[in-house]
Amino acid sequence: MSDYGHELRFGSFLTPSVHDPDQVVALAELTEAAGLDLVTFQDHPYNAEFLDTWTLLSWVAARTERLRISGNVLSLPLRPPAVLARAAASLDRLSHGRFELGLGAGAFWDGIEGMGARRLTAGQGVAALREAIDVLRGVWDDTATGPLRLDGEYYPVPGMQRGPKPAHDIDIWLGAYQPKMLALTGQKANGWLPTLEYLRSPDRVTANRLIDEAAVAAGREPREIRRLLNLFTVDVSSRSRGFLQGPVEQWVDQLLPLVLEEGFSTFLIGRDDPRLIQTLGQEIAPALREAVAKERNGGEVGTGPVRTTVALAERHPGLDYEALPPSLAARSVEPGDQEYERVRHTYSWHGSPALVIRPQNAAEVVDAVSYARTQDVPLSVRSGGHGISGRSTNDGGVVIDMSRMNKVEVLDRATRRVRLEPGARWGDVAQTLAPYGLAMSSGDYGDVGVGGLATTAGVGYLARRHGLTIDHVVAAEIVTADGRLLRVDDEHHPELFWAVRGAGGNFGVITALELEAYEVDKVVYAQLVADATDTAGLLRRWGQLVEDAPRELTSFLSLFPGRRGNPPAAQVTLVYAGDDVEAAQSALSPFMEIGPILDQQAQLVPYPAIVAPPGNQHRGQGLRDTRSGLLHHVTPQAADLMENMIQSGDVMIMQLRSVGGAVNDVARDATAYPHREQNFSVLAATVPDRRPQLDKLWAELYPYLDGLYLSFESDTNPARLLDAWPEPTLGRLRAIKASYDPDNVFNRNFPIPPAEPLG
């Protein structure tokens, strides 16, 4: 018998008495306030003296912020698994990943039978529970295709839609005592949840052994199963020397062997006693943690996350996983982990990284960069995962995924100063700023991340009125290749601050940005669909109208090839940055002349409505072969070549976005985005097998282009660096690269070679 090395958790096990519901909820809130980790409730649906446990769990989840919540244990016969799976995933999503599933085969069969469920023998109960676990995991599995179908004797599932996927991998803990249940725990569960008073010490030893043996026989590690323990006959005020009946020090002495010798790591107090809950959180838990840490440090017990044998077998040989600091290991995902499918790809790229690290603060980013530097594998940095140019996933390398650093704060409404963490999405930024009457133009897609967009430019729906996103960045916090966390602005590391605004991905990991937002309330949003048979004529007319329009107006135009005998179509989005409907109308109405209009609509809407995040799961579904260029004007020659492109059938989509206006008020050398004279950004995208055709067509347009926007370019040809950063910009960037990243650690997004040392 031994310590499995799990981090310690403490919590309460409350009676859901119907007589004083407020008291039950208050004890749950106290559990959180006392610093405990989880609150659990008995579940006896046949007992009219009790509140319904599921309803209580939902209520408590809404009233707490940090606590994990679980039934202790839910009565499976009265909570059929297909519905339970959906309910659990829903509650887990609503509580942002705080739900765990304590489950039992059923007890008090008279009550269960009285409510219409079938009475089962002990053996049947175990078989039913086994089936139920398969149903639960099957419903939650979003990597499987097709409906869930399971042949079961107790819980057959002839065919049901899977989902929803929970917010985190919900643990299943079984209340088990008999050998068959213990074996099932070892084979399939994530935790064993007995009550101390029902098991004498030798029985606990035997039970743990049975679980371990069953785990090993099923190809699992015993450590994959957390051991939890309910404690009922406990007291801190008693002076008796009985087990858990005395003062705090006595508790620590008595619990220590349960951790170190019997492997228990979660203790749940089954007394509805506020004083005891408080003492557990404030005195016993810290003291026991300290005592256990002291013992473990002397020994060799691993305290990192528990990984299955299957997951360990999928580790990449090129990476030293053991060298990862434990704090980061706890937040990382490896191949074989259940979450891996959700974090391996990006919107446009497929990937199979060896490790995805998800730091929660800047200090952890420093650790992540330092660790990655010791490993001879690719390093990608990811925020929102929408990179087209930036390869924010890789094969066999490390990804530093910033999605958990996603705060959006208004620092000072008067100066309109806002602070954005890189993992925030622009849709969320818009939502958070709107109640303050503020906005920050980003792009057309609310799912795009702050980190990638605000380090390259940010061509948004308000660009002609308010400029690029980077034009409003006033400070950045960045972890550089040598592991320093720097705050950069006009006065501190000004060259790096300049470089971050246009070539950010080359210089480090941005951990926060401060921007000056602007006042925006409602905007007029219009969409036209036009027949683009005369593609070149339509483009010319649109281009001229955009240049003539007041700068309140920004327009994006998407061209789609004709399909199934239909002509090509143009979808034109027009955004008027302001709520003066009359002025908007006169700015918009000339666009009705760009060509035969098939559909149109216009609305006055709050800004967040036009960048609503779609919340897609990233599976590499986006078109990733793109070419980007910038145009001063939509000239007849350029328009003809773009018509060729869309009529060839080899290009799946072309997009033109207006820049100009306020974008061009900024001096060419004010930031590392030097394109301040062009009026349009052009993008063409296709599928991988048409890339050669796209390249041929693009080569014809190339002489008419001046520069590119790197966030829309997937070409990795180094010659294109000069299109992104024509001299003297590139030379300046190379010199800054030589100072801050001489070893070219950050080399996955238009990598800038460090300048050669002089002499």
Ligand X SMILES: Cc1cc2nc3c(=O)[nH]c(=O)nc-3n(C[C@H](O)[C@H](O)[C@H](O)COP(=O)(O)OP(=O)(O)OC[C@H]3O[C@@H](n4cnc5c(N)ncnc54)[C@H](O)[C@@H]3O)c2cc1C
Residue nearer to ligand X on the CB measure, 25 or 343: 343
C-alpha distances out from residue 417 to 156, 517, 720, Å: 57, 6, 35
Give, in degrees to the nearest 5, the angle at Cα 365 between 477 and 432: 55
Q: Does residue number 353 form part of the binding site for ligand X (CB under 6 A)?
A: no
Among 448, 569, 587, 697, binds ligand X (CB under 6 A): 448
Residue nearer to ligand X on the CB measure, 86 or 391: 391
Q: Does residue number 402 form part of the binding site for ligand X (CB under 6 A)?
A: yes
Say how many C-beta atoms besides its own lie within 10 A of residue 696's C-beta: 12
Q: Does residue number 455 form part of the binding site for ligand X (CB under 6 A)?
A: yes
Q: Does residue number 351 form part of the binding site for ligand X (CB under 6 A)?
A: no
Q: Does residue number 501 form part of the binding site for ligand X (CB under 6 A)?
A: no
Q: Is residue 618 within 8 Å of residue 347, measured between CB atoms?
A: yes
Q: Does residue number 430 form part of the binding site for ligand X (CB under 6 A)?
A: no
Min. distance of Cβ 279 from ligand X in angstroms? 43
Among 102, 351, 353, 452, binds ligand X (CB under 6 A): 452
Among 157, 354, 388, 631, binds ligand X (CB under 6 A): 388
Among 138, 246, 353, 422, binds ligand X (CB under 6 A): 422
Min. distance of Cβ 531 from ligand X in angstroms? 25
Phi, psi of 621 (to 5 degrees): -85, -20
Say how many C-beta atoms besides its own lie within 10 A of residue 363's C-beta: 13
What is the arrangement of strands in the sheet containing 597-606, beginning at the earlier edge strand?
597-606, 522-531, 569-576, 553-560, 653-658, 680-686, 625-631
Hey, is 246 helix, strand or coil?
coil
The whole-angstrom separation of Cα 236 and Cα 279 is 8
Give, in degrees to the nearest 5, the angle at Cα 557 between 551 and 560: 180
Q: Does residue number 451 form part of the binding site for ligand X (CB under 6 A)?
A: yes
The whole-angstrom separation of Cα 588 and Cα 472 is 27
Among 449, 467, 561, 660, binds ligand X (CB under 6 A): 449
Provide the residue count of the chain.
759
Q: Does residue number 453 form part of the binding site for ligand X (CB under 6 A)?
A: yes
Q: Does residue number 387 form part of the binding site for ligand X (CB under 6 A)?
A: yes
Q: Does residue number 748 form part of the binding site for ligand X (CB under 6 A)?
A: yes
Give, in degrees to the nearest 5, the angle at Cα 198 between 196 and 201: 60
Residues 707-736 that bind ligand X (CB under 6 A): 711
String marking each residue 460-489 x if it binds ligand X according to CB under 6 A? x-----------------------------
Q: Does residue number 332 form part of the binding site for ligand X (CB under 6 A)?
A: no
Q: Which window, 94-102, 285-293, 390-398, 487-495, contacts ligand X (CB under 6 A)? A: 390-398
Residue nearer to ligand X on the CB measure, 5 or 384: 384
The whole-angstrom separation of Cα 120 and Cα 155 is 13
Among 70, 72, 383, 658, binds ligand X (CB under 6 A): 383
* Among candidate residues 238, 243, 176, 186, the one with its CA nearest the CA of residue 210: 186
Among 444, 482, 531, 547, binds ligand X (CB under 6 A): 444
Min. distance of Cβ 295 from ligand X in angstroms? 39
Among 27, 459, 488, 733, binds ligand X (CB under 6 A): 459
Min. distance of Cβ 387 from ligand X in angstroms? 3
Query: What letter represents residue 213's amino acid?
Result: E
- Would strands 398-401 and 355-357 be described as parallel, antiparallel, or unpaired? parallel
The whole-angstrom separation of Cα 53 and Cα 70 is 9
Q: Does residue number 674 form part of the binding site for ligand X (CB under 6 A)?
A: no
Q: Does residue number 386 form part of the binding site for ligand X (CB under 6 A)?
A: yes
Total of chain residues touching ligand X, rule CB under 6 A: 38
Q: Does residue number 505 form part of the binding site for ligand X (CB under 6 A)?
A: yes
Min. distance of Cβ 716 from ligand X in angstroms? 12
Strand partners, 581: none
Among 382, 465, 472, 501, binds ligand X (CB under 6 A): 382
Q: Does residue number 504 form part of the binding site for ligand X (CB under 6 A)?
A: yes
Min. distance of Cβ 610 from ligand X in angstroms? 11
Q: Does residue number 595 form part of the binding site for ligand X (CB under 6 A)?
A: no
Phi, psi of 749 (to 5 degrees): -140, 95
Q: Does residue number 359 form part of the binding site for ligand X (CB under 6 A)?
A: no
Tell how far CA 72 is from the center of its chain: 30
Min. distance of Cβ 193 from ligand X in angstroms? 39
The whole-angstrom separation of Cα 592 and Cα 676 is 29
Phi, psi of 653 (to 5 degrees): -160, 145
Residue nearer to ligand X on the CB measure, 79 or 748: 748
Min. distance of Cβ 221 from ligand X in angstroms? 33
Residue nearer to ligand X on the CB measure, 138 or 505: 505
- Would strands 518-519 and 438-439 be described as parallel, antiparallel, or unpaired? antiparallel
The per-residue DSSP string of 405-428 comes to ---EEEEETTTTEEEE-TT-BHHH
Q: Which window, 42-50, 136-144, 331-339, 440-448, contacts ligand X (CB under 6 A)? A: 440-448
The whole-angstrom separation of Cα 502 and Cα 733 is 10
Q: Residue 592: CB partners within 8 Å, gap ≥ 6?
A: 528, 600
Among 102, 384, 427, 578, binds ligand X (CB under 6 A): 384
Q: Does residue number 749 form part of the binding site for ligand X (CB under 6 A)?
A: yes
Tokens 């800004």, residue located: 607
Q: Residue 675: CB partners within 8 Å, gap ≥ 6?
A: 630, 659, 706, 707, 709
Among 381, 523, 536, 553, binds ligand X (CB under 6 A): 381
Token pair of 419 as six digits: 């602070």
Q: Which residues bind ligand X (CB under 6 A)?
A: 346-348, 380-388, 390-392, 402, 422, 443-445, 448-449, 451-453, 455, 457-460, 504-505, 509-510, 622, 711, 748-749
